[in-house]
Amino acid sequence: MAVDDAFDLNSPAEVAKALDDTGYLPDDGIATAAFLAMRMRRPLLCEGEPGTGKTALAQALATALGVDLIRLQCHEGIDAAQALYDWDFPRQLLHLRTLEAAAGGELDAESAESSLYTRRFLLARPLLRALQESPCVLLVDEIDRADDEFEAFLLEVLSEYAVTIPEFGVVSAAQPPIVVLTSNRTREVHDALKRRCLYHWLEHPDLEREVAILRRRLPGLDERLAEQVAATVQRMRQMELLKPPGVAEALDWAQALQALGQDELDTETAATTLGAVLKYREDAERVRAAGVLTAER
């Protein structure tokens, strides 16, 4: 799809087909939310358990639309400089020394400063890149890991799709990027940011859809094995685990079984490959003790 047509999907059904063509299998709710985010030029806040496809949605949208994906990974302590821009001080210093040498040691301060703060020395971080390079998909991943101050700063940027760099001027997006924010809900995102966004809660897929995802993402996966892996993972999610497995873990497990040449999930192989799907010893012990791996499939 050409960039000029990037936002011209005309219905949720067209969005669903475009995503399906990338290998991402959306349900009606996801397709509708993505369509409205594009049509209304509003950020889309996706919340849900880890492994429900939030990040993969942004990646699939970028692929489907033929535009770049620009990712801002949030973390504790992230600040505006890390997300927006910085100046390349070492190169600025070298430039300043070159000017001084050319001027014989005497340098006009005003002209030196004006030559230092130009695009040449501007280091664009993800938010600034998205404004400069749009149309694109901007993924703000795990916004719940950032603090209140960063959330307020992000709200300001997303309200105008523009920022002011004191030494440089205003940078605004010629066309607002598609923005997808994800949250694992380790803390509540503030109401002000939620009001700016459209919202969608992503559930784990049902059994039929998870089987379809496994077979789509892993060509050649035996249908029986896909059904057994999906059914077992679904049962694990119903248990009180420290980290219930997501779709990514189900894919890892099925791929591990494929690598071992398995076409069926037997109890012994399931037990020895649990490290592909469960990441905590306590979870593995709980699953083994509950008999999940030996239940009839």
Segment 191-228, tens digit of pLDDT: 999 999 999 999 999 999 999 999 999 999 999 999 99
3-state secondary structure of 124: strand
Phi, psi of 69 (to 5 degrees): -100, 120
Q: Is the CATH code 3.40.1160.10 the one for domain 3-84+125-202? A: no
The SS3 call for residue 255 is: helix
In which residue are the tokens 């999610």 written? 237
- Tell me the domain boundaries of the chain: 3-84+125-202, 85-120, 207-289
Q: How far apart are CA 34 and CA 37, in angstroms?
A: 5
Confidence (pTM): 0.86
Q: Tell me the pLDDT tens digit for each residue of 62-105.
A: 999 999 999 999 999 999 889 999 888 888 888 878 877 776 66
